[in-house]
Amino acid sequence: MCAIKKIKNECGFALLNTLLFMFFLGLMGITLATIVIADKRMQVVTVSERQAFYAAQSGIEYAVKGIIEYALNNSNMNGLSNYTETVNTGNGSTCDIHLSVTASDELTITASGKTDNNAVTSTKTITYIDVSNYAIYTTGEARRMRTIPSGSVMENAQYLPRFDLAELRDLARPTQYYTGNLNLNAPFTFTRDITFVERNLIFGTYNWYNQGTYVVRGNVNIQTSWLPMGTTVGCIFQPESGAQFTSQWNFLWRSLRGGIISNGDLLGTTIWWLGYRFTVVHDRDRINDLMQYSVNGGPLIITDSEWAKQ
């Protein structure tokens, strides 16, 4: 009888141990499942927050591109003050964009990227130069030059618009691309889009009227003309450092209606004591005929930018 009782006691202890083991095993399973579920939720939150951040970044880039395109047809940014737009940034996210004009050369972009569960707001303040607001824009000096309106000159500029010269060459080819000098001596010259000159551009003695956009890697020389009031309608761009723009003495003004963008010095007359000087009549649209091909896609040079994540 004692042996039978002993066996029953041992069975009872074994059953109790088994039940306790199963209880703790179940408890561990529940705990592990809770941890896994919580981790999954954290991962979802992290992915959602990241998507919202990327949406805000995309909104900033979209706004900068839109600002530059806006500048192609508008001489100031006041029309963008308090502008708002909501854009779809993909993967179920959107971005609310708000623009603020904070100075004559400064804009602040606020972009709020949103997903179903998260929102991230970023701001970017950009400072810019609008090259097309100047009749003459140069990294050098402009001496004895006349502009209309008066004073429409940016000298000693720290920044020059960036262009892909290979693209400009392709735009000029085959009929308006010159590997050497280009001497315009006919009374009338009409060109479409871009004329690309690898060396020097000379406006000759008998030249009177021209129309076109000229990219000149060398110097520009305006010779003394036999014909009064000669003019060029368009834009002249000299991308190479140290390039020279020189107008010889002319009895009556030679002029350019459009603009000059140069990486060197300009001289409006070789006889300083005579009043007749090369004149640039500012025409924003003619300048933007060139600036639309800049790396930025418009006339703005972004000189500084500051990010802030809220």
Q: How many CB atoms lie within 10 A of CB 117?
A: 12
Q: What integer pLDDT is reported at residue 249 of this predicted model?
A: 82
Using the predicted structure, report yes or no on whether residue 180 has a pLDDT greater than 50: yes
The listed CATH number (3.30.70, 2.60.60, 2.20.25, 3.40.50) that belongs to domain 60-130: 2.20.25
Closest CA to 145 of 7, 277, 2: 277
Supply the Cα-derived Rg of the chain in whole angstroms: 35
**Which pLDDT band holds residue 227 (cuts at 50, 70, 90)?**
confident
Predicted model pTM: 0.82
Per-residue model confidence as pLDDT tens digits over 243-294: 999 999 876 678 999 999 999 999 999 887 776 689 999 999 999 999 999 9
Contact 257, 286 (CB under 8 A): yes
Per-residue model confidence as pLDDT tens digits over 19-42: 555 655 665 656 555 544 444 444
Structural domain spans, the chain: 60-130, 134-291
The C-alpha atoms of residue 177 and residue 179 are separated, in whole angstroms, by 7
